[in-house]
Amino acid sequence: MKKEEWLIAGTAGAIAATVAFLLWPKKDIPKGATVVQPFDISRYLGKWHEIARLPNKVEQNIRALTEKYTMRDDGMISVVTRGFDMQKKRWVKAAGKLKLAARQNIGKLKVSYFGPFYFAYNILDVDEDYQYALASGSDLDSLWLLSRETTMPEVIRERFIRHARAIGFDTNKLEWPAMV
């Protein structure tokens, strides 16, 4: 094969790989998981306390984490995440935005703290009064147990842990960050 033919074949292969990557379905929910349906985003708004989480680099050394969701005029949702950085010995916060990732009334959301880059935020379980929630990212590495208060009843905690374990989350790795 001549040099020009190799170049054309290589370019065509690169284009095909790029198109396949862009069109290939992106995973946005852990395999075996389903989101809350029906889901009422207006009832989810407000302040949430992180009760437990799977370890992750972003929240490393962070305690007393809260998230506050408020509706914006443009239909998006503002989120302000705040927590105490134990290493830096100070409160830190990050502002982002949230949007529905799919049709209305299901707990499949997308969150962005970095411009146009959105990440999956799935509501896997919520109690009937929207006081406690089980949320995940797109895979089995991100999981959060959330509460409107700084505590969670054991019956709800056990329900969420059973639910997460049934999906495949390693709930033995859950961290229970101490309050500051």
Domains of the chain: 30-173 (2.40.128.20)
Looking at per-residue pLDDT, the higher value among 68 and 6 belongs to 68
CA distance linking residue 156 with residue 166, whole number of Å? 15
Q: Helix H segments across 24-167? A: 41-44, 154-167
Task: Give me the pLDDT at residue 180, please.
Answer: 57
Q: Can you list the pairs that 30-33 forms with residues at least 24 positions away whose Cβ atoms lie under 8 Å?
A: 30/122, 30/136, 30/138, 30/139, 30/140, 30/167, 30/168, 30/169, 31/168, 32/166, 32/167, 32/168, 33/122, 33/124, 33/136, 33/167
Q: How confident is the model at residue 25 (pLDDT cuts 50, 70, 90)?
A: very low
**Mean local confidence (pLDDT), 106-129:** 94
Question: Under DSSP, is residue 42 helix (H, G, I), strand (E, B) or coil?
Answer: helix
**Mean local confidence (pLDDT), 90-103:** 91
**Max CA distance (Å), the chain:** 71
Q: pLDDT for 170-180, tens place per residue?
A: 999 999 986 65
Average pLDDT, the chain: 87
Number of neighbours of residue 157 by Cβ within 10 angstroms: 19
Task: Give me the pLDDT at residue 26, please.
Answer: 53
